[in-house]
A and B are shown apart, each in its own frame.
Chain A
Amino acid sequence: MEQNTISLENKGLEMALSTKPPSLFVLFWRELKHDAFAFISLFVLIFVIVAVYAGAFFLTSTRDVMSNNLINQNQSPQDSGSLLGTDSNGRYVAPLLFVAARNSLNISFAVTGISFIIGLVVGVTSGFYGGKIDNTIMRIVDTWTMIPALMFIIAMISIADQRTVGLFILFLTMFTWMARTRLVRAAALQNCNMDYINASKTLGTRNSVIIFREMLPNLVDIVVANFVLSLAASIGMETGLSLLGFGLGMEVPSLGTMLQAALQPVNLQFRWWTWAPALILVVIIMLCINFVGNALQRVADPKQRYQ
């Protein structure tokens, strides 16, 4: 009888040890099944992204899309016989929209990606080693955060010799990596105090192995959730700055530069096709990203996730 109890307990322990925790993907799927918005958003988002990249890929070239034809300026969809008419430079809005959206997505992927790479390296270093290193790094991050980002970006864009996409990405990244660093550092700090890291340290495992093989996998869920959410923020920043004229130059189409058409009262009132498509696309992309991102965030947090 006693023997039985023990074996039962052992069995339970064995089962607990042998069952892997559900993967991120499974959890996400479980989450999606119970959140219709997120579910639809995911498919819309995938569809939009694939369509944008495929569309932009199959269009002949940016140069053709950007080719001006003043005779055709401001044609409505009916008049021009094309899907979305033409803008004030006589460019067809529909193909322009694909190239513009691709550029905007590229920029936001690049900005978010680079700032997460920086955030991971700096944040994990800071969180794992702690002490003076942590203190120094975090004070630098604090100082950097205090700089009014928008004003700084506008000033630097204004004095830049040449407005290139690379430069724009650099400026945006310069002011987005701090938040990622803090996030990663907090998670790393939390993990560092857990028994598995302490045990590993006691066993004499090398730091690099602890960081990359043991700690990083435990940060993935947080990183993924935040990555998706900050994509939306990056798109918002790009469109905002470009709309105000402090973003990409006039030779690089983006959703923000397309929205500039709406700054003219004539276009706003009489020519919806010059700005509405870009606006709708921005709204769709940002909404979808937010719904999906929120679902991911709930997945990353055991207290919020759907049990």
Chain B
Amino acid sequence: MKKHRFLTILAMLAVSIFIAACAAPAVDEVAVDPVDPVVGGGNGDDNGVGPDETVVHSIHPALVVLDQISLRYPQAVNNPGPILQPGDTGNIIRAAQPTTTTFPGIFERTMQSEAQDGTILDLNTSAIVSLTPEFTWGTQGIALISFAPDYTWVQLDMQYDVYWHDGTPFTLDDLVFAYEIITHPDYTGIRFVPAHFFPIIVGVDEWRDGTADHISGLVLSNNNRTLRIYYTEPLPPGAQFGGSIWLQPTPRHWLEPVIEELGVANLADHARARHEAVGFGPWIIDTVVPGESVLFRANDNYHRGRPLADYLLFEGVHFDLVLSAMREGLFDVTIGFVPAANYEEHVLFNANNYTMASWVGPGQGFMYFRTGTMVPDEYGSLATPRDDNHPIQNLAIRRALSHAMDQELKAITIQNGLSTPAGNILNPFNARQHIDPNVLGFFFDLDLANSILDEAGFTERGPDGYRLNLDGSPMYFNFAANDNSFNQQAVPTYLQNWSNIGLDVRLYTGDLIEWNTFLDNVLLSDNWSETVHIFISNWSLGFNPAPHGLWGSRVPFNLSRHTSPTFDAILDDIASQDAWNPEFLSDAYYRWQVYMYENAVAAPMFWGVQIFAVNHRLQGYDLTRVEGRINIPEQTIFWGLTAPVAYVNTN
């Protein structure tokens, strides 16, 4: 499930995961070994820098550190005590969402793009096919998925009777409705991307032209319990990953009148896509305080059993206050992870009413260098390089910026040792699948950064000590980041790191930017494309390691707006039929990692663990992967559905 989550911006991720106890010898190799056999040899920029010997790693050194960090806290927290029964007094789970901002409140999958909304939706609804612990498609969902032998179609068969929260029966026509919305020409959301295979569905072009009144490639059986989706070309192996195919239904009976009234573009404005949204999940949206909290009540008719708690309260709490709130016993659990930058508070206060659980979550932060713009075309938009000749377009500048970031120091100090510098462009959660152990990422090396700049010709310095552009004019870069506890400490340090190699990087607006402003102007649009050259963004990614969702030239999440024929060819290879051959796929992934490093499209920030505070009142909290639970932490609040599970007792 949850392809959407692959891409969902984890809003406040901010204080991201990541961090690291870094003194391990393996990390020293990262720090002192700028020449690696795959990358170092080819690019010619590190001549004379660093030791000549090359170390061939059998396992990526950053993964070794990550393993050590993840041992610090368990994945499961088991507290003894009586389990409450439905109807008992106080049978309510209070979940805190650590955040720096309010949630937009769009509770419709096709329209939602923000992580807090996504978390709320996870409680209210779900994808219709379950995921196995390996994140392939499973068999415990509402429907079973099967593929054609040649992968030109996908078939879904409903195996349970399911009802929407208003009592209307769920059918696969609701999934067809979601496809009709996303592929509609007026659709303004962010899901119409090749990563979900929408553009290659049979009949989508006619549907978008208006020459057909339905998508001919979606074929329903008479009772609407079987759906086949035909594709114009065979699906790539990535389709085997849970979440790659869009399986999030949208209630047709509920939202079709809205679309007739407002049109697809304005769907998200209506109450039925907001506080009146219906799902079929274990929790029904009861009361919404806009931007602040959502009270859910248990769905008595949930097809896998009623949740044991009667109510679930979801409430946003500021990063800096979330651990105090846990200490005060105001919440039973943090539904999102506690920022690593706030972890020190846990250690110093040493509270005895909650414990920590941790896992290596699917989150990743990047330092992005924006070199292009999204230009709208008939299939949405296409990343296009800007032709303004700003120095950020210069590869040497981007590589120097990346190598000048002292990530290890930040991992130890700000992230309190809960993360380590990212070893690679891959997401730590599934890095083991295709990692090239010898692509070591952007290790911190000021001398290397300086020599890269010198060799590229940025040798002249202005009166203020900063390097001048190649034509002798002053150059500077605007940097933007959203406001959170990690960035408050890290951003001045990054600026300082960069000024140490003579690059004038200025903080855009002069301060950290409020999350929603940042989201609207930098992440979801090109409003500030001309003015902001460097920015930090964190993602809660998905389980599919395929890079299309985050880097494809047609994906709004391609925040660098980087694209090139070589790059497209690599992405195509990963998504091609040849990729059914594991060796070919592995090779394509290796080439991708090398490309991302050599072209400095973006600098990955940290690999680390996400930590969650769990009150002793709560039982059975478990982040271990089990089929039927997605095991992203908020999913454990399904509690009681498939596994022995979680309750709140009144003590």
Cβ-defined partner of A158 (8 Å) among B508, B512, B517: B517
A158 to B514, Cβ gap below 8 A?
Answer: yes
Q: B169 at the A/B interface (Cβ < 8 Å)? A: no
Residue B68, interface by CB 8 Å = no
Find out whether the CB atom of B496 lies under 8 angstroms from the CB atom of A160. no
A266 to B319, CA, bound (A): 12
Contact, CB under 8 Å: B323 / A265: yes
* Bound complex: CA A201 to CA B85 (Å): 91
A160 in contact with B509 given A67-B496, A73-B413, A266-B348 (CB within 8 Å)? yes
Choice from B324, B508, B517 contacting A265 with Cβ under 8 Å: B324
B206 contacts across to A, CB distance below 8 A:
none
- Give B368 Cβ to nearest chain A Cβ, in Å: 20
The answer to whether A70 and B485 have CB atoms under 8 Å apart is no
* CB-nearest residue of chain B to A246: B511
Closest Cβ–Cβ distance, residue A264 to chain B (whole Å): 5
A163 and B511 contact, CB distance less than 8 A: yes
Instruction: Write out the residue numbers on chain B whose beta carbons fall within 8 Å of the beta carbon of A250.
Output: 488, 491-492, 507, 510-512
A68 touches B345 (CB 8 A): no
Closest CB in chain B relative to A236 CB, distance in Å: 21
**Total of A-B residue pairs, C-beta within 8 Å:** 70
Q: Residue-by-residue, is B493-519 near A (CB-CB < 8 Å gives 1, otherwise 0)?
A: 100100000000001111110100100
Contact A265 B492 (CB under 8 A): no
CA distance A89 to B495 in the complex (A): 13
Instruction: Please tell me if the beta carbons of A70 and B414 are within 8 angstroms of each other in the complex.
Output: yes
Q: Which residue of A lies closest to B491 (CB)?
A: A250
Query: Which B residues are CB-close (under 8 A) to A58?
Result: none
- Chain B nearest Cβ from A167, distance in angstroms: 9
Chain A residue at smallest Cβ distance from B493: A68
Is B510 in contact with A265, judged by CB distance below 8 angstroms? no
Cβ-based interface call for A88 (8 A): yes
Task: Tell me the A220-274 residues at the B interface (CB within 8 Å).
Answer: 245, 248-252, 263-266, 269-270
- Select from chain B the residue with minimum beta-carbon distance to A263: B320
Say whether A161 faces chain B, with CB atoms less than 8 Å apart.
Answer: yes
Tell me, yes or no, whether A164 is within 8 Å of chain B by CB.
yes
Task: Provide the residues of chain B in CB contact with A203, threshold 8 Å.
Answer: none
Distance of A89 Cα from B496 Cα, bound (Å): 12
Known: A245-B483, A263-B320. A70 touches B511 (CB 8 A): no
A71 within 8 A of B: yes
Which chain B residues in 506-542 approach chain A with CB under 8 Å?
A: 507-512, 514, 517
Chain B residues, Cβ within 8 Å of A163: 509-511
A66 at the interface (CB under 8 A from B): yes
Q: Is B410 an interface residue (CB 8 A)?
A: yes
Q: How far is the CB of B477 from chain A (nearest CB, A)?
A: 15
For B510, list chain A residues within 8 Å (CB). 162-164, 248-252
Q: Are B320 and A265 in contact (CB under 8 A)?
A: yes
State the CA gap A160–B513 with chains docked (Å): 11
**Interface band, chain B:** 20 to 34
CB distance from B98 to the nearest CB of A (A): 14
* Residue numbers in B under 8 Å from A164 (CB-CB): 510
A266: contacting residue among B345, B409, B496, CB under 8 A: B345
Measured CB to CB, the closest approach of chain B to A223, in angstroms, equals 33
In angstroms, Cα B512 to Cα A134, docked, is 44
Check A68–B496 contact: CB distance below 8 A.
Answer: yes
Contact of A264 among B414, B485, B508 (CB under 8 A): B485
**B32 at interface (Cβ–Cβ under 8 A)?**
no
Q: What chain B residues lie within 8 Å of A266 (beta carbons)?
A: 344-345, 348-349
User: Which residues of chain A are near B489, meaning CB under 8 Å?
Assistant: 68, 70, 73, 88-89
Contact of A71 with B413 at beta-carbon distance under 8 Å, contacts A162-B510, A266-B348 already known:
yes
- Docked CA distance A71–B496 (Å): 14
Nearest chain-B residue to A167 (Cβ)? B510
Shortest C-beta distance, A256 to chain B (Å), equals 12
With known contacts A163-B509, A250-B492, A265-B323, A70–B409 Cβ distance under 8 A: yes
- 455-511 of chain B: CB within 8 A of chain A: 483, 485, 488-489, 491-493, 496, 507-511
Beta-carbon nearest neighbor of A63 in chain B? B499
Q: Which residues of B contact A251 (CB under 8 A)?
A: 492, 507, 510-511
- Which residues of B sit under 8 angstroms from A70, Cβ to Cβ? 409-410, 413-414, 489, 493
Q: Bound state CA distance, A67 and B321, in angstroms?
A: 28
In the bound assembly, the distance between CA atoms of A252 and B511 in angstroms comes to 9
Chain A hits for B348, CB < 8 A: 266, 269-270
What's the Cα separation between A160 and B414 when bound, in Å? 29
Q: How far, in whole Å, are A71 and B413 apart by their CA atoms in the complex?
A: 7
Is A66's CB under 8 angstroms from B409's CB? no
Contact indicator B511/A249 (Cβ below 8 Å): yes
Determine which residue in A158, A160, A164, A250 has the highest number of CB atoms from chain B within 10 A of its CB, and name it. A250
Beyond A70-B413, A71-B409, A158-B517, list 19 extra A-B contacts (CB 8 Å): A68-B493, A70-B409, A70-B414, A71-B413, A89-B489, A89-B492, A245-B511, A250-B491, A250-B512, A251-B492, A251-B507, A251-B511, A264-B320, A264-B342, A265-B323, A265-B345, A266-B345, A266-B348, A269-B348
Between A and B, 28 residue pairs with Cβ closer than 8 Å are A67-B496, A68-B493, A68-B496, A70-B409, A70-B414, A70-B489, A71-B413, A88-B488, A88-B489, A160-B509, A161-B509, A162-B508, A163-B509, A245-B511, A248-B510, A249-B507, A250-B507, A250-B510, A250-B512, A251-B492, A251-B511, A263-B320, A264-B345, A264-B485, A265-B320, A265-B345, A266-B349, A269-B349
